[in-house]
Chain A
Amino acid sequence: MSESSTAYRAYRSWVTEPLSAPPVVSVIIPAYNEEWRILPTIGAIATHMSARGEPWELIISDDGSRDTTVELVRDLRFANLTLLVAEENAGKGSAVRRGVRAARGDIVLVADADQSTPIEQYDRLAASLETGSALVIGSRAADGAAVRGKSIGRRIVSRGLHLLVAYGFGVRVADTQCGFKILRADAAKRLFDLQQLDGFSFDLEVLYLAHKLGYEVTEVPVEWIDAPGSTVDVAKVSMQFLRDLVRIRMYDLRGRYARSRPESEPRVPTPAHDAVDEGTRV
């Protein structure tokens, strides 16, 4: 084995030593039945983010996995990794919301568990935050994006939905669904306190709310590689997306976005407690 590089030593330090300062960045990975993919993704993210040299934390927000995802992550026992466990599979939006509520960083990165957008893209997107944007979102549709493995069917559906979202909702974002988004923490907390959807359309809802509240959103082209083995049913997902578009509009008309989610919602997990639906710092 080679001598340790600076990046590797930074990783080892991050793994073994609890942060002595609040994190600058919180990386949130929602995970549902990701036992096959989660460890390589954690390895890649932990190496890259540790090498950046700023304090950061990793939050794996499980979404009621029925496989060994929770056990695999818990067994890592990384000093700065928080595992949030959910009893039921409520949806990606629910998992991300719990992650955002638990996040302590000034910057929040939400990234998919399949590393379809390589973590190296973070550096470029984070730089855009410095220009004043509250949200910087990875885009597979912006000029300069490099997309591999996306089927023609998904491309056509994405394009159609984009036109609908742009002209029907005023959300001028070419790709609402890319699972790689960076948010300023204050904006993330506010947006995820207001948003209601538990499923995969939460991205659209958050962007709709960002538009409504006047947050500046910047779209940055990313490299994106389709994760093989995806079982996404494009037709089914598209229909759900359309239904959620209507729900978002109805929620807004009824004033549900004028107030935060009720206190009866599951709140920020308390790391000291080891129970389902609560965070467990491992």
Chain B
Amino acid sequence: MIIRTEIEPTRRLVHLVGRFDAHECPGFRSAVTPLVTAEANVIHIDLSQVAFVDSTALAELVRLQKAARALDGEVILADPSDPVRVILEITALAEMFTIIDTTGAP
């Protein structure tokens, strides 16, 4: 999985490309967790190019959400691909996140 980060003054953007599974969690954690700080406590994760998330990856997202909320921030999931959207729904984890559409697609 490719992880690309963008740093803005008050928020962080993370773009993921590929399959987000247990193999990728250590790399995700080391690259993304340090981005959440008291000054930049909102993190956007672009999931538009993620084809699959397994349970370990979902747990990693939940862990990051808890860390962000501890700093009065949150994790925002942007443009989840169809399978990721469905997986979030059937695992009942969609309600744990703000999920946004940045594409303006009809």
| Interface residues in chain A, defined as those with a beta carbon under 8 Å from any beta carbon in chain B | 1-3, 5, 7-8, 11, 36-37, 39-40, 42-44, 46-48, 51, 76, 115, 118, 120, 148-149, 225, 227-229
Q: Are B105 and A2 in contact (CB under 8 A)?
A: yes
User: CA separation between A111 and B101, bound complex, in Å?
Assistant: 32
Q: Which residues of A contact B103 (CB under 8 A)?
A: 2
Which residue of chain B is the closest to A148 with respect to CB atoms?
Answer: B23
**Measured between C-beta atoms, what is the minimum distance from A123 to chain B in Å?**
13
The 3 closest A-B pairs by CB, nearest first: A2-B101, A43-B87, A228-B22
| Interface residues in chain B, defined as those with a beta carbon under 8 Å from any beta carbon in chain A | 19, 21-23, 51-56, 58, 79-80, 82-83, 85-87, 89-91, 94, 99-101, 103, 105-106
Q: Which residues of A contact B80 (CB under 8 A)?
A: 2
Q: Are B86 and A11 in contact (CB under 8 A)?
A: yes
Best-surrounded residue of B52, B80, B91, B101 (most CB of chain A within 10 A): B52
Q: Which of A39, A148, A225, A227 contacts B90 (CB 8 A)?
A: A39
**Measured between C-beta atoms, what is the minimum distance from A119 to chain B in Å?**
8
Q: Are B85 and A228 in contact (CB under 8 A)?
A: no
Q: Which residues of A contact B91 (CB under 8 A)?
A: 39-40, 43
Q: Which residues of B contact A7 (CB under 8 A)?
A: 82
**Measured between C-beta atoms, what is the minimum distance from B97 to chain A in Å?**
10
Q: Are B106 and A3 in contact (CB under 8 A)?
A: yes
Q: Are B83 and A47 in contact (CB under 8 A)?
A: yes
Given known A-B contacts A40-B53, A43-B90, A3 and B101 have beta carbons under 8 A apart? yes
Q: Which residues of A contact B55 (CB under 8 A)?
A: 36-37, 39-40
Which residue of chain A is the closest to B58 with respect to CB atoms?
Answer: A40
Q: Are B105 and A3 in contact (CB under 8 A)?
A: yes
Q: Are A5 and B82 in contact (CB under 8 A)?
A: yes
**Measured between C-beta atoms, what is the minimum distance from B82 to chain A in Å?**
4
Which residue of chain A is the closest to B87 with respect to CB atoms?
Answer: A43
**Measured between C-beta atoms, what is the minimum distance from A209 to chain B in Å?**
33
Q: A2-B79, A7-B82, A44-B83 are in contact. List 16 more A-B contacts (CB 8 A).
A: A1-B101, A2-B85, A3-B105, A3-B106, A39-B55, A40-B52, A40-B54, A40-B55, A43-B89, A44-B86, A47-B86, A118-B19, A118-B51, A149-B23, A225-B19, A228-B21
Given known A-B contacts A8-B82, A76-B90, A225-B23, A37 and B54 have beta carbons under 8 A apart? yes
Q: Are A120 and B87 in contact (CB under 8 A)?
A: no
Best-surrounded residue of B19, B54, B86, B106 (most CB of chain A within 10 A): B86
Which residue of chain B is the closest to A42 with respect to CB atoms?
Answer: B90
User: CA separation between A87 and B92, bound complex, in Å?
Assistant: 28
